[in-house]
Amino acid sequence: MLCRNCGKQNEDYLEYCKYCGEELTAEDAAAGGERPADGAASDATWGFARSPKWRRPEFRADSVEVEDDADEGDVTPYTPARRFSRTGAVGGEAPDAAQTDAPAEDESPVVPVYGSRRKSATPAEHEIVPVDEDDIVKPEKIRFAEPLEEDYYYEGVEPDEYDDYRDTNRRGGKKWIVLASVAAAVVVLVAVCWIIIGTTYGNLSNCIDHLFNGNPLLQPVMIEKSTDADGESIVVFTVRAPKGTTIRFNINGQTQEKTIESGNSFAGFLKEANFIPTEAVDSDSPYVIVVPDITVISPDGVETKITSFVTTDETIIDIVDPDATAAQRRQGIPIDGFPVRVPELTLTITSPESGAEITTRIVMVTGTVSSNTATVLVEGQEVTVDETGAFTAAVELSAQGESTITVEASKGGYRTARQTINVIYNVTEIDIAFDDEVQFRTRTNTLTLSGTLEPGAVVSMSCEAEGISFSEPVTVGTDGRFAITATIAEVGYYDVTITVVNGASTSTSTVHLERAPENHNDYYGSAFAIDYTRLVSEPYHNSHYAIMGRVVEIIQESPYVIAKLRTTDGQEIYFQYHNSYSGAAEIVVSDTQMYNIACFPNGLYEGTQIPYVYVWFVLKPSA
């Protein structure tokens, strides 16, 4: 709209001209800044008194709040005073000089009053009040708000619809400040709680486990390794539990206890050697995983066995979980136990070498072990170890060709040592033609074997059992004859290997030799009646028996007899009988023929719990 005072254009929403400060009304918009005529034509033009220079307000025009503290009717809006124009007078009559310089006596002049209009006796009468220019307060230039951009307003609210948007914004800002303060306080509280949980419980899971699941530990037991002042390896245990809790360690039958007297944790160490198992350890790894035996006793006496362990020790993690990530290693990984290095025995086989070719069915295995108190097994049979740790064992090979021999050494607190060797048995089995009069059973201490072989061959005999010896090897004469003698010191039976070497060819044969009791009557007379229970429970005890019964089955006839005998009281036994000498009894199956055998225990028959006996003499009573 146009200002009637200065004639400049203002925005429609302003109440005062932003150039001269004159009040703007709807008439200004309609008149375009020119005052309409009062009826009669006149050359005089109307002007407007310039508004006083008010003090510049210290507030923004778009947030003015009118505060009326005067009595109603005392204060009226400021109306500019009319003045006479130099070019004319009211009603179209030009005033003279007196009229322009002084007011008429019957007319009260219109005097501008700032802030209010003074009351007079009549509305038409005004008194002239002299005004000193120095007393007039000149207002500063009024600043007006610049138009705001459209996107400044709240979404969906136009300025015309909601003029008080700035107050709303301020009130909303206060709300956001309050919410932000509450959120910050919550964050700080959560951070403090998280720090407390982390230092006390390690993580939230442990906290819940302790508070709600009744776990006596604040955190899982931490296991680490270190060394003591002497350089020995030690295992460090850190147990986090409430004050007053007792920690009990059980180590190989020994018990140690410690009570947490201050704080919420206990750290102690034990030598790693204390955790080495007392029994032999059969493992390919140099380590054995040991599960600590730890019991936590609460102040009220409740005992809980601990099964939850964790570690951040790199030396332990590299063994139990080498694929663990760097983050897992920093946080600590759960473990079932910790690794303990177990010492190993040193086992050496000195003879034969692996891959060696041998010419006899019986091979002598020799070697040493690092501890003379170790147990050494050769092909499952225990052998004697002397004070130097040396041992010797005879092994009978089962067949020609390649064979594997296994030697094992074990000791409590040590890892079991095991060695295997391969040997090649290339000899050929031959049937030696013995003379007809040769006996393989004797009642004296010597027994001579004779026969015919190729001239120049060398004949020798060997046996792994004790109690028998042989003459030196003999060379077959040009007539092809040989004779070699075996000396048997005690009653017993022996499987003897006869080796024949003829140039590059080696062959063997096995014969069964016996030294029987001298008098069968004396042997029968000193024999015991059958003790079947003892024969089963002690299959190799030193005693001999006279047993009567019928043969119900023949298992083998050559080169010796194996048969099943049913005793007179209905019990069954198996027996071995070598009928390869003159006068040996014939064994047949019969429902009527009774046999009276003199024998000694020889174990249990293959795959059964039936006694197996070795028979010296067989008598056939009348049917």
Q: Which of 287, 294, 288 is nearest to 270 (CA)?
A: 294
- What phi and psi, each to the nearest 5 degrees, are found at residue 224? -140, 165
* CA distance linking residue 539 with residue 457, whole number of Å: 43
Q: How far is the C-alpha of 392 from the C-alpha of 29, rounded, in Å?
A: 133
Q: How far is CA 607 from CA 64, 196, 603, in A?
A: 117, 69, 11
Number of C-beta neighbours around residue 410 at 10 A: 20
Mean per-residue pLDDT pooled into runs of 10, the chain (623 residues): 81 80 71 44 43 56 49 48 42 43 46 44 48 56 55 50 53 77 84 67 65 66 88 87 84 79 79 86 87 86 85 90 89 88 91 83 88 92 92 82 90 91 80 83 88 90 88 90 90 88 80 87 89 91 92 89 92 90 83 90 91 91 67
Q: What is the pLDDT of residue 374?
A: 93
pLDDT score recorded for residue 133? 59
The confidence score (pLDDT) of residue 68 equals: 46
Provide the pLDDT for residue 572: 93
d(CA 347, CA 341): 19
Strand partners, 258: 247
310: which 2 tokens?
């964790």
Task: Kindly give the pairing relationship between strand 611-619 and strand 572-577.
Answer: parallel
Give the model's pLDDT for residue 71: 46
Instruction: Please report the pLDDT score of residue 41 as a whole number.
Output: 39
pTM over cut 0.75: no
pLDDT at 592: 87
Residue 87: the pLDDT is: 40
Instruction: Give the pLDDT confidence score for residue 191 in this predicted structure.
Output: 75
Helix (H) or strand (E) holding 522: helix 520-526
Cis peptide before 139 (omega within 30 of 0): no
Which pLDDT belongs to residue 120? 43
Say what the pLDDT of residue 256 is: 80
Cβ–Cβ under 8 Å, residues 574 and 605:
yes
Q: pLDDT value at position 368?
A: 93
Task: Please tell me the distance from the alpha carbon of residue 242 to that of residue 217, in angstroms, as a whole number.
Answer: 8
Q: How many CB atoms lie within 10 A of CB 587?
A: 22
Residue 101's pLDDT is 46
Identify the bridge partners of residue 498 per DSSP, sorted by sequence position.
Answer: 461, 509
pLDDT at residue 418 in the model: 92
Spatial separation of the C-alpha atoms in residues 391 and 348, rounded to whole Å: 10
Token pair for residue 296?
Answer: 């936590």
| Contacting residues for 49 by C-beta, under 8 A, at least 6 apart | 80, 81, 82, 83, 112
pLDDT of residue 153: 45
* Amino acid found at 210: H
How far is it, in rounded angstroms, from Cα 228 to Cα 242? 28
- Tell me, what's the pLDDT at 2? 80
Distance CA 470, CA 461 (A): 6
Query: Which pLDDT value is given to residue 390?
Result: 93
> Any idea what DSSP says for residue 344?
B
